[in-house]
Amino acid sequence: MSPAGRSLRRTLALSGKELRHIVRDPRTLYLALGMPVVMLFIFGYAVTFDLDRLPLGVLDADRSPESRELVRAFESSGVFQRAWDLSNAAEEAEGHFHRGRIQGALVISPGFGRELGAGREGQVQFLLDGTDGVTAAIALGYAGAIAKAYQLRLLSRLSLELAPPLDARVRLRYNPEARSTIFIVPGLIALILALMMVLLTSLSVAREWERGSLEQLFATPAKRLQILIGKLLPYVALGMLQVLLVLALGTLLFQVPVRGSLLWLLGTALVFISGCVGQGLLISVLTRNQQLATQVAAITALLPTVLLSGFIFPIENMPWPLQALSTIVPARYFISALRGIMLKGNGPAEIWPQLAALLTFALVMLAAANARFQRRLD
Amino acid sequence: MSGAILAATDLSRRFGKIVALDGLSLSMGAGELFGLVGPDGAGKTTALRLLAGQLRPDAGSVRVMARDPVREGDAVRAELGYVPQQFSLYGDLSVQENLDFFGAMFGLNGAEVEARSEELLALTRLKPFRSRRADALSGGMYKKLSVACSLLHRPRVLLLDEPTNGVDPISRRELWQLLQRFAAQGMAVLLSTPYMDEAARCHRVGLLHRGRLVRCGPPGELRHSVGHGCYWLEDLPRQIAEEVLAQTAVLTRVPQGKRYRLLVRRDGEEALAQRVSQAGGRLTPTQPGFEDLFLLFTSEGGDGA
């Protein structure tokens, strides 16, 4: 057999063996293919940052056509739902807030319609449950927008030719309905890959250290690179399978668009996965122990990907030390590139900086793992 | 050391402050069966790992067919079979799959692997179990598979770390027959074992104690090199026996049932014989065995002479 043929045969035999390990340990397979589905369902259906029918308490003490129109404007927005009619007292609203029956209250004082009719300022009070700051901030934005629209309608009705001085028309590009699922799916792909790839590869090599099979493997003339590539290849393939699975479910169930090239998307994913398996390999080479490898993988892969990648928390809002730290989190570049490709239809011209960062990370991780992986026991 | 297939010169290795191996030198020719005997912690595993190139020595050198296993690893591994002590095959792969995998690792093509694994399965009588998962094999079968996997590339040197540990007596005898057969075919076979009784089956034995090779030679010669009298002491109650034996000329004493096995310095034999007959006991000379030899080293802290 030629040296190249022998090399290929060794690499493939290692991959085949690794594939058998994966297939014969159903837990790995369940974890690798089940977890993305579960996470997609959780994030797609349960965890959503979109506001929908927020329960609203309404106290309309005015009962004028104007006040009824304002209440209707809130109801028809779809964001708020009239849940309770409050009779009069502010304490009643407080009680409902406490019991969690309402998250907002609209209080229109008597004389609202009369004041408006006289051309003066009408007073409206809007109360919000601020316990959940994110929801409150979004609700406040909507309430302001509804009030503003109502105001504009009133103005055009009252003073005929007096056009409003500024007509700002905000249009959300790429995700017009601001659906968080669309925004979440790219992040979810990164999270699943970062977690599973790092964890599975670090466990697979650490297991061989623990069981002692590496000692037998080291007694063969197989080269270091053949061992590494052969062991990593099946996990890279598994990672690509996960990407395809999440993409397929995301498009089918949540109408997540892929506006850019699918080939560039998969290519970018391949580079990210290579970095992740490199990281997993480095962890297992350094720890040589499954339990420790799991912990290190969780700390170095899961935490930064959830917290510092822009998956949920915008990087722009972080204090500068965290922003600086986020520059070495590969998921940050991957998520940004994925969102670009999927939502904006970006191609290589736009995503090359992210791609370059991911490529750098992958090369550094694989080189470090390769350097530390000794073909000996000491 | 012309003609030496495996040679170690002044081989030393420490782990932190512990000196695991201290100046091991040995040389083996083709067709030789060499046993490295010593208690747990004597440095047997370290010695084998150094010989196999799995560890780097702190001092000294190893040559396998005149090559350095650290610097010319691939060339050495092509001539070397190594069976580690711990379970080191893939438990979730079948017997045949393990053979196929290691065959590919050794660079054999499919036809070669098939022919040689057939041969080895027949030799180790594992054929009926070829589709059984390795972790479902008994201890003896597992060891035989381990040996088979390290012989696929037809090495000229075979190193085995405690191959008979945890193996039942029948499989143990079978394993020994295999090893003797390999040696008869010209292979240099080196194994380690904590069992003294196995040493007698080797062509040459090295006694390893606290990292040092304290004796080395053919088993018969070693036994005769004890240089002290070996006796059975009988017919004395325990307490009286202990009193009679409490003197410096008695180097080792091991109670075995109602008897004692003794090693006695030559210059103290006469005096002891007198005391024993005075007490009403009986002293019978016997042949020293490996165990006596070994006890001598361990009780005297490795001096032994």
> Could you give the CA distance from residue B161 to residue B36 in angstroms, rounded to a whole number?
9
Let me know whether A199 and A270 are in one domain: yes
Judge residue B302's burial from the number of C-beta atoms within 10 Å of its C-beta, 0-12 exposed, 13-18 middle, 19 or more buried: middle
Domain tally, chain B: 2
CA distance A131 to A176: 28
CB B165 within 8 A of CB B48: no
**Are B97 and A20 a contacting pair at CB < 8 A?**
yes
A191 plus A310 within the same structural domain = yes
A158, A191, A215 - which closes a domain: A158
Q: Can you give the residue range of the structural domain that contains A136?
A: 54-158
Cα separation, A244 vs A33, in Å, equals 11
Same-domain status, B244 and B210 = no
Candidates A216, A217, A218, A226: best to mutate against B (most CBs of B within 10 A) is A216
pLDDT beyond 80 at A211: yes
Chain A hits for B53, Cβ within 8 Å = 376
Q: Which residue in this structure is represented by tokens 């790092």?
A: A198
The answer to the question of residue A131 being in a domain is yes
Distance of CA B5 to the CA centre of its chain: 18
Q: Where are the alpha helices (DSSP H) in B23-109?
A: 44-51, 73-77, 95-105
B78, closest residue in chain A (CA to CA): A221
Chain B residues within 8 A of A215 when measuring between CB atoms: 54, 84, 86, 88
Return the SS3 of B200: coil
What CATH number has the domain bearing residue B282? 3.30.70.120
pLDDT of residue B237: 87
How is residue A363 written in tokens? 């090369």
Interchain CB contact of B55 with A (< 8 Å): yes
In this prediction, residue A170 has a pLDDT band, given cuts at 50, 70 and 90, of: low
- The verdict on A193 and A315 lying in the same domain is yes
Within a domain: residue A338? yes
Q: What is the pLDDT of residue A162?
A: 57
How many other CB atoms sit within 10 Å of the CB of residue A350?
15
Question: pLDDT per residue over A249-262, tens digit each?
Answer: 988 988 888 999 99
Cβ pair B27, B6 in contact under 8 A: yes
B182 close contact with A: CB closer than 8 A: no
- What's the structural domain count of chain A? 2
Regarding whether B203 and B103 lie in a shared domain, the answer is yes
**Residue where one domain finishes, among candidates B216, B249, B265:** B216
At which of B187, B216, B245 does a domain end? B216
**Residue A80: CATH number of its domain:** 3.40.1710.10
Chain A residue with minimal CA distance to B104? Answer: A10
Query: Which region holds residue B207: left if phi is over 0, alpha if psi is between -120 and 50, else beta?
Result: beta
Q: Report the chain B residue with the minimal C-alpha distance to residue A223.
A: B74
- B73·A221 Cβ contact <8 A: yes
Q: What is the pLDDT along chain B (305 residues), one digit of tens a residue?
A: 447 899 999 999 999 999 999 999 999 999 999 999 988 889 999 999 999 999 999 999 999 999 999 888 889 999 999 999 987 899 999 999 999 999 999 999 999 999 999 999 999 999 999 999 999 999 899 999 999 999 999 999 999 999 998 888 998 999 999 999 999 999 999 999 988 888 889 999 999 988 999 889 998 888 888 788 899 988 888 888 888 888 878 888 888 888 899 989 888 888 888 888 888 888 889 888 878 888 887 776 444 44
E strand map for chain B: 6-15, 18-28, 33-37, 59-64, 80-83, 157-161, 188-193, 204-209, 212-217, 229-234, 250-256, 259-264, 282-285
Residues facing residue B282 across a β-bridge? B234
Helix B110-123 × helix B139-149 angle, to 10°: 140
Residue contacts between A and B (CB atoms, under 8 Å): 86
Please indicate, yes or no, if residue B305 is contained in any of the structural domains. no
Do residues A281 and A248 both lie within one domain? yes
Contacts of A4 in chain B (CB under 8 A): none
Whether residue B237 sits in one domain with residue B178:
no
Question: Would you say B131 and B95 are in contact if contact means Cβ atoms under 8 Å apart?
Answer: yes
Domain span at B12: 6-216
Show residues of chain B in contact with A218, CB under 8 Å.
54
Asked if residue B279 belongs to a domain, the reply is: yes
Report the pLDDT value the prediction gives residue A295, as an integer from 0 to 100. Answer: 94
Which DSSP letter does residue B133 get? Answer: B
Tokens 């929908």 locate to A52
Does residue A111 sit in the same domain as residue A8? no
pLDDT number for residue A280: 95
One domain, residues B11 and B147: yes
Instruction: Give domain status of residue B40, yes or no.
Output: yes
Is residue A304 located within the same domain as residue A343? Answer: yes
Chain B: residue whose CA lies nearest to A24:
B92
Query: Domain of B78: which CATH number?
Result: 3.40.50.300
Whether residues A367 and A219 fall in one domain: yes
